[in-house]
Every structure is written in structure tokens, then in C-alpha cells.
């Protein structure tokens, strides 16, 4: 699966959040695409880039309840009506669409009665309307509130969650999470020296065993449920 | 009452809709302010302009469920957090905020189940969130669907409705409408030669008479209602 991350930030080099995410996005089959960094917007090239991806992510800090103007400028140029839905085109149909948004305010502010008095989903509605029009599948929005206040352990958790958001199969079910962690772990230990991780294979085996245990437990639960239905 | 119309359109000279509205906005105490036409955005000057108005209108064509990027660029620069709500500032508090939006699609498309599957109010939520944060009073959005298909009589009706939106007292009640039409008519006939409109004063008198009749009818209805309550 190929993921395209369309990033918008007017001063990306000064953004701790975006620099942190950039490190996380250095994965196989993930393209980091910074719109304000483009010397010019080549519509044809951008459209081909979108079509080459299976999952398209818009990533930005929240400025006045929307993305920075750079993303809107890119949208207004690249997303021609014909490309999105004209003549029954479905250039982006069945691709997945997600949003990664960072906020300076805590999430509790984004609700009715909260300081912002509007939800994140309401704020994202215009982007989701584009995705709907293009017949894309919408992923839940990935929210990064107040990155600057996160301690190192929270940042590490964020990094993994972010990487899963970019590359893990949808939906975010237990079995998809298990498969993702197992694959990632297996891929990463390949690069280790033997001395780096003597127990790696043992961990991987235990992981696989646990996954099988859970699968068996699920089967048992299903049998019990079937019994109740009869 | 002073009205500031913050207009955003990347090619305003080629927009029939905006050129038509421009003619309508040539009223006393209405400032037409085209953001893409600014040679540079002087934040201090723009903020003072906003503060000088009693009613602030954002006016734009709908591009991908939002204003063109030019308005967002202006917002991101001019609307500093401190200006809108920092340190309990209320620079725009109690001012009125409205939106004039033109759409290429008919209004029936903007509803759940419609082609666009999103309402105009949902699309405008991010702008209204700014107005809320600034403690402004929100006016209903003025919608101009498919201007290009309007015949001359519909265009004339639009022109008057638009002028009322820019300058008529809020809310859009019968008495506020009456007062607006009477004032406008009185102002306009001042510029006529006697020969231009021999019946103008008679019309104006009839208008005033009708308004009084309605006021009396309202009093009568109120008396009846009071009788019912007792």
C-alpha cells in the first residue's frame, strides 16, 4: 500500500511537530509531500502523484479552523472539478483519505460548550466533502493536541500511532494492529546485528503465539454466541 | 452603520457575479475591500479597517467547500490570535458578521442526500467559529446560487436583497425592511429632477401611510392576544 502525505505548513523547518512527524514518516511506501515547498504547482504532476497513492493524507496545523492557506491554494489549483468528479471520473475513487491535524489547544476545547465551541469533525467537514465527492473512503482524523507539552514517552506513543495511521490496514481493529506490529517488528530486526537483539526471534515467536491464542479465544466466543442464538 | 465587504476572488475582473455585486455595493458607508487586489497585507492597517466597521462581510465564490485561498492567506496574516481574543480583547466584539457566497450549483444540492451532501451552514462553520471566538453577532449567510442562469428580473431582485444584506438593520424583520425601503427611496428621489418623478412624493407618502396601517393592525392583534391571555 502506498501512502501520500500532503503536508501544509508555511514554516515547516521551525515546526517541532512537523519535524518530529517527518522522522516518523520515513517509511517504505510513504511519500512526504510538502506543498509550500513546491517551487511551482504542476497540476498534471500533482494529479498523477495523487493517483499513484492508495491512501492520501492531508497533514497540517489548525489555523483558524482550517488548514493553512498553502493547502487551499494547492487544492484550488490541483483538484480540478474534472479530476475529482467530472464526466463520472473516479480518479481517486476507493482510495483512503485521512487527515493529520495538530492543535495548540487541548481536545476538550473542541466540543459544544468548550472554548472553541466546534468539533474537529465539524472543522474537517469541507475536506471530507471533497473526499466524498471523489468517492474516497474516509478515515477517522488523527489528532495531535499540544505536541509541545508531550513528554518523551507520549511522543514515542504518538510516533507509533502516527506510523500506524500512515500504513496500517483499515479499520484500526485488533487483528489489523497485531498484523502491523508483527510485520514492523519482523522488518526491523532484519537490520539488527545478532548481538543487537539476541531475544528478537523469541519475542516475535511469543507475539505470533499470543495472536493465535487470541484468534482461538475469538472462535470460542463465537461458538458460545451461536449457542445463545439457537 | 459602516459595512466592510472583504471580497476574495482570484480573478475578480473576469467574474460576472462579483462585478455585478460591485455595482450594488456602491453605497454610502460601504467599503469594498478585495484581498487579492492588495499589493501587500499590512496587518495593522487591515485590523484598523476591521475595527472601523460595524458589519463585516466575507464575500467569495465557493471553491471546494471554502473561500479561495486568498481569503485564508489574509485570515492567517491579519487575524492574529491576540487581535481576535487574546488577553480578553474584544476588538470585534458586538460587530455583525455575514457571509455572501456564490455557488455554481443549485441550493438543493447542499443538503444531506443532495449531490454535495453537506449544508451551506456546515461549510461556513469554520468562519462562524472565528466570529464566535471574536464575540461577533452572526448574520444568516447570503447565498447566490447559479448567478449565470438568473434572468434580468431575478438579478434586480438579487441586487436589492444584496444591498439590504449590506446595510439594513438586523434582524431582517418586516419593520426593518419597511424602514430600509423608505429611507432608500427618500434618499434616491433627492437626486431626481422634478420632471423625473412627479409622483415620487405621492409614492413615498403612500408607503409611509401603509407602514402606519400595518403598525395599527399589529396593535390590534396584540390587544386581541392580550384578551385571549386574560
Q: What is the CATH number of the domain that holds B73?
A: 3.40.50.360
CB-based contact B117 A129, cutoff 8 Å? yes
- A65 with A142, same domain: the answer is yes
Q: What is the secondary structure of B22-52 as a DSSP string?
A: HHHT-STTEEEEEGGG-SS--HHHHHHHHHH
Question: In chain A, what residues touch B121 (CB-CB under 8 Å)?
Answer: none
Q: What is the mean pLDDT of residues B86-107?
A: 93
Among candidates A168, A165, A169, A174, which has minimal Cα distance to A211?
A174
Q: What is the mean pLDDT of residues B180-190?
A: 87
Task: Nearest by CB to A72, from B66, B117, B122: name it.
Answer: B66
Q: Residue A207: its pLDDT value, please?
A: 86
Which of B142, B171, B200 is where one domain is finished? B171
Q: How many domains does chain A have?
A: 2
Which of A155, A171, A187 is where one domain is finished? A171
- A31 with A143, same domain: the answer is yes
- B76 with B115, same domain: the answer is yes
- A110 with A222, same domain: the answer is no
Q: Between β-strands B55-61 and B96-103, what pairing exists: parallel, antiparallel or unpaired?
A: parallel
Q: Residue B189: its pLDDT value, please?
A: 83
Q: Residue B147: its pLDDT value, please?
A: 98
Per-residue pLDDT band for B194 (boundaries 50, 70, 90) equals: low
- A159 with A216, same domain: the answer is no
| pLDDT higher at B189 or A170 | A170
Per-residue pLDDT band for B195 (boundaries 50, 70, 90) equals: low
Task: Nearest by CB to A63, from B10, B76, B123: name it.
Answer: B76
Question: In chain A, what residues touch B65 (CB-CB under 8 Å)?
Answer: 125-127, 129-130
Strand partners, B3: B30, B55
- B125 with B223, same domain: the answer is no
CA distance A150 to chain B (A): 23
Q: Residue B201: its pLDDT value, please?
A: 82
Q: What is the secondary structure of A7-45 as a DSSP string?
A: E--TTGGG-HHHHHHHHHT-STTEEEEEGGG-SS--HHH
CB-based contact B73 A75, cutoff 8 Å? no
Per-residue pLDDT band for B151 (boundaries 50, 70, 90) equals: very high
- CA distance linking residue B140 with residue B173, whole number of Å: 13
- CA distance linking residue A139 with residue A141, whole number of Å: 6
Q: Residue A17: its pLDDT value, please?
A: 98
* The residue count for chain B: 230
CB-based contact A118 B130, cutoff 8 Å? no
Range of the domain at A229: 173-230
Per-residue pLDDT band for B149 (boundaries 50, 70, 90) equals: very high
Cell (9 digits) for B27: 453605497
First-residue to last-residue Cα distance in chain B: 41
Spans in chain A with pLDDT lower than 70: 194-195
CB-based contact B66 A64, cutoff 8 Å? no
Q: What is the mean pLDDT of residues B112-127?
A: 97
- B199 with B101, same domain: the answer is no
ipTM value for the complex: 0.92
Q: What are the strands, taking DSSP E only, across chain A?
A: 3-7, 30-34, 55-61, 96-103, 137-138, 142-145
CB-based contact A126 B126, cutoff 8 Å? yes
Q: What would the pLDDT profile of B58-96 be if each residue is shown by its tens digit? A: 999 999 999 999 999 999 999 999 999 987 778 999 899
Among candidates B60, B40, B68, B128, which has minimal Cα distance to B100?
B60
- A38 with A77, same domain: the answer is yes
- B189 with B161, same domain: the answer is no
- B136 with B146, same domain: the answer is yes
- B93 with B166, same domain: the answer is yes
- B14 with B123, same domain: the answer is yes
Amino acid at each position: 500500500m502506498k501512502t501520500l502525505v500532503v503536508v501544509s505548513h508555511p514554516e515547516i523547518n521551525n515546526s517541532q511537530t512537523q519535524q518530529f512527524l517527518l522522522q516518523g514518516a520515513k517509511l517504505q511506501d510513504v511519500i512526504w509531500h510538502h506543498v509550500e515547498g513546491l517551487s511551482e504547482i504542476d497540476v498534471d504532476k500533482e494529479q498523477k502523484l495523487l493517483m499513484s497513492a492508495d491512501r492520501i493524507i492531508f497533514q497540517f496545523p489548525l489555523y483558524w479552523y482550517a488548514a493553512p492557506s498553502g493547502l487551499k491554494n494547492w487544492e484550488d489549483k490541483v483538484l480540478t472539478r474534472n479530476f475529482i468528479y467530472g464526466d463520472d471520473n473516479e480518479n481517486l475513487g476507493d482510495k483512503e483519505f485521512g487527515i493529520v491535524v495538530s492543535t495548540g489547544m487541548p481536545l476538550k476545547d473542541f466540543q459544544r460548550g468548550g472554548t472553541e465551541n466546534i468539533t474537529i469533525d465539524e472543522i474537517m467537514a469541507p475536506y471530507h466533502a471533497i473526499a466524498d465527492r471523489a468517492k474516497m473512503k474516509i478515515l477517522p482524523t488523527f489528532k495531535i493536541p499540544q505536541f509541545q507539552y508531550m513528554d518523551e514517552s507520549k511522543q514515542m506513543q504518538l510516533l507509533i500511532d502516527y506510523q500506524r495511521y500512515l500504513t496500517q490496514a483499515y479499520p484500526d481493529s485488533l487483528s489489523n494492529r497485531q498484523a502491523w506490529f508483527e510485520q514492523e517488528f519482523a522488518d526491523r530486526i532484519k537490520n539488527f546485528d545478532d548481538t543487537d537483539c539476541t531475544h528478537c526471534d523469541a519475542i516475535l515467536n511469543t507475539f505470533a503465539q499470543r495472536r493465535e491464542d487470541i484468534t482461538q479465544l475469538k472462535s470460542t466466543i463465537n461458538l458460545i454466541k451461536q449457542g445463545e442464538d439457537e
